[in-house]
Structure 1
């Protein structure tokens, strides 16, 4: 009976967040009005910033004066976007935007990006892990590293990026990690043993793989927050956010907007809020929080409350990345 009620709650969360998102957010102002007047002096990395939510997020942060790093696979497209932004902003503040190459389907690309950034020895104030994939209806695909592509792009690669950028995040007086998540995590189950092994074709579901990758990234982020707290490092805040169902190129079938869907500007609101608002700090639990598209704390999957399951995700992730289980404490010791 309890299990049945659990599924009812899960179904309600998904229906409410997806089909009622317009009602839940009618009171919110435009995304640009959610930002402080001046973000100069802050460095922000936004992954997947050439389209959709990432593009809108990077644009709004740049207009507010932040130093924005567009971390993208398609650097040519990103540079064209930056040139257009600077033309459009010729009568206003000078935009501080740069482009750096990052391909989440290549862990060596992630390592190179982090190496290039860390050479600057500068503080990083906000990391927005926005890039993601959903190969809807497609068969299982495996990356060059032998990982199922959803789990690599949506979890393993951004987890590696986050860990490698911890020294830079710790240099800032306060910093935030923002993981763009999905309400689909509510109906997912994480099975780490399948991350780097093929399963029978008829048993693979791209929807399940996508949901599992988002759930895994949530569970990993919670453990990271816990480990930072154990080391008495409270300067880094770990947040995940469901931006709503948005018309982006993540899913080709969703490029045509339905009446209940968000456009990228609407989808970026909750991401920008979590990245910059002082209010979110008050609602964190042990340095971790999950926000909905209405810029308010939201219910999270019960799996995230299972510490043992979260630790299993952490351990499997570190095993794949060939990193020491005590990586966080080692980073903190070396930066002091």
Structure 2
């Protein structure tokens, strides 16, 4: 039983990866159409100091958006700001420290943002970790669950009031969660939050997949809550495909070497992968449209489990309980 719990998640994840690579081999990367300028609008990009997040920040600043790069690596974050300002003298971009593994850090980030009295029109929940060794955060949560999911949920909920005030009937604020095809491999029979916390028979592959399914479940339920409340905010998920970034640094040495070789031929570059996220954040085609799972610029079907209203509701309630948040957005 223990062996199966370790091997099956690995096989499922790599099989899904092969399917994604085959698609990327046979199809050109999506190129975002020309988008209207976003002058006067503000975005936060978590994990925006490097990789995919950096390219999303770069493209949004080129549209005239004021971008705040949120990262736990201050040195890289400040370097990213300097680089973007060097490329475009008119770029409005700042750095703010944010460690999504710490709920206290999330709360302090939100307080600092609120003190700036800025609006917020786009929240790009991009930061993430993959296949890290078993460990817990200072709050006692499994690392994948905390960084990929729980920290972003708290960030989103605490910033929601600003996003509601910033949105209008004609120009909604947008919450974009960068997800992964790995969510397709997460078990469809999750019974409770304990499965997502993954306390027993720890597998980093399963933990990563569970955290990505949780992201999609939360996104869909959040969209329903926003729509029911009549708020001018939408929530959607973006699958960037397999991207050549440092996300794979925790692979075993032989696998990492193979990944580096394959990446040169089949992986999307961060710049290519950023197009769908930018499209989701700024395209007029998606004005007022939420609850989407976007891949290569198109709305596609996510996993069957992700559409389970029962799973969405149970996860929402358990997450609110863990974070000490009201279940209702209107509370």
TM-score interval, smaller chain: 0.7 to 0.9
Q: Which residue number corresponds to residue 143 of structure 2? A: 149
**1:69 maps to which residue?**
68
CA displacement 1:157-198 (0-9 Å, x = unmatched): 000000000011101221100000001101102451145573
User: Is the Cα–Cα contact under 8 Å of residues 35 and 272 in structure 1 kept in the other structure?
Assistant: no
Unpaired segments ≥5 residues, structure 2: 1-12, 250-255
SS at match of 2:123: strand
1:250 equivalenced with 2:247 (yes/no): yes
CA contact (8 A) 1:131 1:154 kept: yes
Closer, same or farther in 2 for the Cα pair 1:323/1:37, shift >3 Å?
A: closer
Q: Using structure 2 for the length normalisation, give the TM-score.
A: 0.86
Aligned residues of 2:16 and 2:185 also touching (Cα < 8 A):
no
Q: 1:184 aligns with which of 182, 194, 198?
A: 182
Residue 221 of structure 1 and its aligned partner are, at CA, apart by 1.4
Measured after TM superposition, the shift of residue 101 of structure 1 is 0.7
Displacement, 1:269? 1.2
Per-residue CA distance 1:252-277 (angstroms, 9 max, x = gap)? 22455241111111111111111111
Q: Is the 8 A contact 2:196 2:207 kept in 1?
A: no
Verify the 8 A CA contact 1:249 1:255 in the aligned structure 2.
no
Q: 1:255 to 1:58 in 2, by over 3 A?
A: farther
Shift in CA distance, 156/35, structure 1 to aligned 2, threshold 3 Å: farther
Alignment of 1:61-210 (within 5 A): 61-90=60-89, 94-135=90-131, 138=133, 140-172=134-166, 173=168, 174-189=172-187, 190=190, 191-195=192-196, 198-199=199-200, 203-210=201-208
Alpha-carbon offset, residue 56 of structure 1: 0.6
Aligned to 1:6: none
* Shift in Å, 1:22: 4.0
CA contact (8 A) 1:239 1:288 kept: yes
Change (3 A) 1:268 1:258: same
Deviation at 1:310, TM superposition (A): 0.8
Does the CA-based 8 Å contact 2:40-2:66 persist in structure 1? yes
| Aligned position for 2:326 | 324
Q: Of residues 12, 18, 21 in structure 1, which corresponds to 2:21?
A: 18
Supply the distance in 2 between the matched residues of 1:11 and 1:99 (Cα, whole angstroms): 35
In the alignment, the residues of structure 2 paired with residue 85 and residue 45 of structure 1 have an alpha-carbon distance, to the nearest angstrom, of 15
Match of 1:300 in 2: 302
**Which residue matches 1:236?**
233
Q: Secondary structure at the match of 2:266?
A: coil
Equivalents in 1 of 2:34, 2:60: separation in Å?
A: 8
The alignment partner of 1:325 has SS state of coil
Unaligned 5+ residue runs, structure 1?
Answer: 1-9, 331-336
- The residue number in structure 1 matching 2:8 is none
1:42 aligns to what? 41
SS for the counterpart of 1:20 is helix
CA distance in 2, matches of 1:151, 1:17: 23
SS of the equivalent of 1:118 reads: helix
**Cα distance in 1 between the residues matched to 2:300 and 2:124:** 19
Q: Whole-Å Cα distance in 1 between the matches of residues 27 and 227 of structure 2?
A: 33
Residue pairs, 1:310-321, within 5 angstroms: 310-321=312-323
